[in-house]
Amino acid sequence: MLSILIPIYNFDVRRLVKELHDQAAALPFSAEILCFDDGSEAHWKALNREVGQLPMARYQECPQNLGRSRIRNLLADTARGSHLLFLDCDSEVTDATYLRSYTAAMDEKSLLYGGRLYRKDPPDDPRLFLHWQYGVRREQMPPAQRREHPYHHFMTNNFLLPASVFHAIRFDERLLEYGHEDTLFGMELRRRKVPIKHLDNPLAHIGLEPAEAFLDKTRKGVRNLAFLYRSGTGIETRLTLFYEKLRQNGLALPAKVALARLRPLLLRNLLSRRPSLFLFDLYKLGLFLEEC
């Protein structure tokens, strides 16, 4: 059995679940779709309860927000399948062979990552441009490019693995807020020598957020990263490696002071119609320096 696991938070998943249900019905083996709401507002719950009426779907509401790691662990603990397919709720299936492509490649030891894509044209709403630009330039990449650094380019939006492999690792429930649960999971995959197969089987990310909300999630993600770094996990990202170079050369404190002074200017750009990803990187570095 294949278990399709969708944690929900403030998003309409009806179209996504219906498409997955139609594809799952055509598979040569059984499947289930578990949709667990993680403390969404009442409006979204009212919409999404509809998916529980589908024969292969189960809809459940958590009484309080568990967070990205705990809700995914709960989904996996509830699942009955030998393989688990994790999807983000703000995804869109763009290929009628999406599930078949995964099931044709799955085995008993590998994690399969299908990738992520964004719409080609920029959004009409300028407030969404920072998130779209970051996604197109930093997150959307072909399988060949992802395979160059297979563990670094793993994300949790769209991956399949044997249930036994997942339960040996699980998501770190110390991370209560948004960000870097995928980085830590990828590190553990590498440590355990779990193969990652990068496929051309992406989901479209349609949940673009306004710059203010995107920056708020960025701040939470940097706090999580700093917590993991200080905890001695050995976590390595572009940000932590650059921080170490600054510290080794005695430049961490001057950079912290300079970036704190520049923050209002950085934010002005990031909230504008033409945000710069270079300035976004400086903004994140300034936040990390303050946390460390």
Contacts of 156 (CB under 8 A, 6+ apart): 68, 72, 86, 88, 181, 182, 185
| Residue 177 in this model has a pLDDT that exceeds 70 | no
> Which of helix, strand or coil describes residue 99?
helix
Digit-coded pLDDT (tens) for 196-206: 999 999 999 99
Domains observed in the chain:
2-115+155-205 (3.90.550.10), 212-291 (no CATH)
Q: CA-CA-CA-CA torsion for 266, 267, 269, 270, nearest 10 degrees?
A: 110
| Residue 127 in this model has a pLDDT that exceeds 70 | yes
Q: How far apart are CA 25 and CA 199, in angstroms?
A: 22
Token digits of residue 288:
């990390």
Is 80 exposed, middle or buried, given 0-12, 13-18 or 19+ CB atoms closer than 10 A? exposed
- pTM for this structure? 0.92
| Residue 46 in this model has a pLDDT that exceeds 90 | yes
Token digits of residue 183:
């980085």
Digit-coded pLDDT (tens) for 6-22: 999 999 999 999 999 99
| Residue 89 in this model has a pLDDT that exceeds 70 | yes
Q: How far is CA 95 from CA 6, 13, 20, in A?
A: 18, 17, 11
Which residues share a beta bridge with 61?
Answer: 37
87 closest CA partner among 163, 13, 164, 158: 158
Digit-coded pLDDT (tens) for 50-83: 999 999 999 999 999 998 899 999 999 999 999 9
Q: How far apart are CA 93 and CA 100, in angstroms?
A: 12
DSSP secondary structure string for all residues of 235-265: ---HHHHHHHHHHHTT-HHHHHHHHHHHHHH
| Residue 176 in this model has a pLDDT that exceeds 90 | no
- Do 4 and 75 meet the contact criterion of CB atoms below 8 Å apart? no
- Do 206 and 92 meet the contact criterion of CB atoms below 8 Å apart? yes
Residues in the chain: 292
| Residue 174 in this model has a pLDDT that exceeds 80 | no
Share of the chain above pLDDT 90, in %: 88
Q: Which single residue is written with the structure tokens 């996990």?
A: 233
Reading across the β-sheet that carries 31-37, which strands appear in turn?
57-61, 31-37, 2-8, 83-87, 158-162, 111-113, 196-198
Amino acid at 234: G
Q: How far is CA 58 from CA 35, 63, 80, 163, 214, in A?
A: 6, 16, 12, 18, 30
pLDDT (0 to 100) of residue 246: 95
Average pLDDT of the chain is 95
Confidence grade of residue 91 (pLDDT, cut at 50, 70, 90) = very high
Digit-coded pLDDT (tens) for 243-269: 999 999 999 999 999 999 999 999 999
